[in-house]
Structure 1
Amino acid sequence: MSDRPDISTVGELRSSGHTFRTLRTEIRENLLAALSAGENPWPGLHGFSRTVLPQVERALLAGHDIALLGERGQGKTRLLRTLAALLDEWAPVIEGSELGEHPFDPITDASRARAAELGDDLPIVWRHRDERYVEKLATPDTSVADLIGDVDPMRVAEGRRLGDPETIHYGLVPRSHRGIVAINELPDLAERIQVSLLNVMEERDVQIRGYVLRLPLDVLVVATANPEDYTNRGRIITPLKDRFGAEIRTHYPIELDDEIAIITQEAHLGADVPPAVLEILSRFARNLRESSAVDQSSGVSARFAIAGAETVAAAALHRATVRGEDRAVARVVDVRTAVDVLGGKVEFEVGEEGREDELLEHVLRTATAETVRAHLAGIDLGPLVAAIEAADEVVTTGEQVTAAEFLASLPEIPGRADGGQAGDDESAGDDGRSSDGGESAGDGSSGDRTTGDDETAGDVYDQVAARLGATDDGSRASAVELALEGLFLARRISKETGDGETVYG
Structure 2
Amino acid sequence: MTSSPPAITTTGRLRASGHVLRPLRTELRENLLAMLADGRDPWPGIHGFDDTVIPQFERALIAGHDIVLLGERGQGKTRLLRSLVGLLDEWSPVIDGSELGEHPFQPITPASLRRAAELGDDLPVAWRHRSERYAEKLATPDTSVADLIGDVDPIRVAEGRSLGDPETIHYGLVPRSHRGIVAINELPDLAERIQVSLLNVMEERDIQIRGYLLRLDLDVLVVATANPEDYTNRGRIITPLQDRFGAEIRTHYPPTIDEEVAVIRQEADLTAEVPAYLLEILARFTRNLRESDAVDQRAGVSARFAIAGAETIAAAALHRATRQHEPEAVARPVDLETAVDVLGGKIEFETGEEGRERDILEHLLRTAVAETTRAHLGGLDATVLVHALHGEHSVGATVMTGEQITAADVIAAMPVLGESELYDEVAARLDAHTPGERAGALELLLEALYLDRRIGKESAAGETVYG
TM-score greater than 0.5 by the shorter chain: yes
8 Å contact 1:470–1:479 — kept in the other structure? Answer: yes
Within-5 A mapping of 1:143-292: 143-228=144-229, 235-292=236-293
CA shift, 1:350, in A, is 0.7
2:404 is aligned, of 394, 400, 405, to 400
Q: Are residues 128 and 481 of structure 1, via their aligned partners in 2, closer, same or farther at CA, if it must alter by over 3 Å?
A: same
Q: Are residues 230 and 122 of structure 1, via their aligned partners in 2, closer, same or farther at CA, if it must alter by over 3 Å?
A: closer
Residues 71-99 of structure 1, C-alpha deviations (whole Å, 9 max, x = no match)? 11111111111111110010000011111
Normalising to structure 2: TM-score of the pair? 0.97
- The list of structure 1 runs, each at least 4 consecutive aligned residues, that deviate by more than 3 angstroms after superposition, is 229-234
CA shift, 1:306, in A, is 0.4
Alpha-carbon distance in structure 2 between the residues aligned to 1:117 and 1:67? 42
CA shift, 1:60, in A, is 0.3
8 Å contact 2:95–2:103 — kept in the other structure? Answer: yes
8 Å contact 1:187–1:233 — kept in the other structure? Answer: no
Aligned to 2:38: 37
Within-5 A mapping of 1:38-437: 38-228=39-229, 235-390=236-391, 392-416=396-420
8 Å contact 1:279–1:371 — kept in the other structure? Answer: yes
User: Can you give the 5+ residue segments of structure 2 that lack an aligned partner in the other structure?
Assistant: none
Within-5 A mapping of 1:458-469: 459-469=421-431
Alpha-carbon distance in structure 1 between the residues aligned to 2:152 and 2:176? 15
Q: The residue matched to 2:362 in structure 1 has which SS?
A: helix
Q: The residue matched to 2:229 in structure 1 has which SS?
A: coil
Q: The residue matched to 2:69 in structure 1 has which SS?
A: strand
8 Å contact 2:201–2:218 — kept in the other structure? Answer: yes
Alpha-carbon distance in structure 1 between the residues aligned to 2:228 and 2:217? 32
Alpha-carbon distance in structure 2 between the residues aligned to 1:203 and 1:413? 79
Q: The residue matched to 2:135 in structure 1 has which SS?
A: strand
8 Å contact 1:84–1:132 — kept in the other structure? Answer: yes
Alpha-carbon distance in structure 1 between the residues aligned to 2:465 and 2:44? 44
8 Å contact 1:285–1:300 — kept in the other structure? Answer: yes
CA shift, 1:389, in A, is 2.3
CA shift, 1:233, in A, is 8.8
CA shift, 1:414, in A, is 2.0
Q: The residue matched to 2:414 in structure 1 has which SS?
A: coil
Is 1:483 matched up with 2:432?
no
Q: What amino acid maps onto 2:399 in structure 1?
A: V
User: Can you give the 5+ residue segments of structure 1 that lack an aligned partner in the other structure?
Assistant: 417-458
Alpha-carbon distance in structure 1 between the residues aligned to 2:125 and 2:193? 38
Q: What amino acid maps onto 1:414 in structure 2?
A: G
CA shift, 1:12, in A, is 1.2
Alpha-carbon distance in structure 1 between the residues aligned to 2:80 and 2:248? 14
Q: What amino acid maps onto 2:188 in structure 1?
A: P
Alpha-carbon distance in structure 1 between the residues aligned to 2:291 and 2:307? 18
Q: Which of 213-222 and 160-169 deviates more?
A: 160-169
8 Å contact 2:188–2:230 — kept in the other structure? Answer: no
Alpha-carbon distance in structure 1 between the residues aligned to 2:162 and 2:452? 83
8 Å contact 1:229–1:297 — kept in the other structure? Answer: no
Percent identical: 74
Alpha-carbon distance in structure 1 between the residues aligned to 2:140 and 2:231? 17
Alpha-carbon distance in structure 1 between the residues aligned to 2:235 and 2:283? 32
CA shift, 1:234, in A, is 6.9
CA shift, 1:230, in A, is 8.7
Q: The residue matched to 1:415 in structure 2 has which SS?
A: coil
CA shift, 1:273, in A, is 0.3
Alpha-carbon distance in structure 2 between the residues aligned to 1:232 and 1:395? 55
Q: What amino acid maps onto 1:320 in structure 2?
A: A
8 Å contact 1:107–1:215 — kept in the other structure? Answer: yes
Alpha-carbon distance in structure 1 between the residues aligned to 2:387 and 2:232? 55
CA shift, 1:346, in A, is 1.0
Aligned to 1:434: none
Q: What amino acid maps onto 2:437 in structure 1?
A: S
8 Å contact 1:148–1:208 — kept in the other structure? Answer: yes
Aligned to 1:424: none
Alpha-carbon distance in structure 2 between the residues aligned to 1:330 and 1:232? 44
Q: The residue matched to 2:127 in structure 1 has which SS?
A: strand
Alpha-carbon distance in structure 2 between the residues aligned to 1:141 and 1:468? 52
Alpha-carbon distance in structure 2 between the residues aligned to 1:354 and 1:322? 34
Q: The residue matched to 1:263 in structure 2 has which SS?
A: helix
Q: Are residues 243 and 231 of structure 1, via their aligned partners in 2, closer, same or farther at CA, if it must alter by over 3 Å?
A: closer
8 Å contact 1:230–1:297 — kept in the other structure? Answer: no
CA shift, 1:109, in A, is 2.2
Aligned to 1:426: none
Q: The residue matched to 2:151 in structure 1 has which SS?
A: strand
CA shift, 1:228, in A, is 2.2
Aligned to 1:419: none
Alpha-carbon distance in structure 2 between the residues aligned to 1:93 and 1:233? 42
Aligned to 1:447: none
Residues 234-263 of structure 1, C-alpha deviations (whole Å, 9 max, x = no match)? 711110000000011111110100100000
Residues 310-329 of structure 1, C-alpha deviations (whole Å, 9 max, x = no match)? 00001000000000001000
CA shift, 1:101, in A, is 0.5
Q: Are residues 274 and 230 of structure 1, via their aligned partners in 2, closer, same or farther at CA, if it must alter by over 3 Å?
A: farther
Normalising to structure 1: TM-score of the pair? 0.90
Aligned to 2:462: 500
- The aligned length equals 463
1:474 is aligned, of 436, 441, 444, to 436
Q: The residue matched to 1:228 in structure 2 has which SS?
A: helix
Q: The residue matched to 1:351 in structure 2 has which SS?
A: coil
Alpha-carbon distance in structure 1 between the residues aligned to 2:410 and 2:448? 17
Alpha-carbon distance in structure 1 between the residues aligned to 2:418 and 2:333? 25
Q: What amino acid maps onto 2:450 in structure 1?
A: F
8 Å contact 1:230–1:298 — kept in the other structure? Answer: no
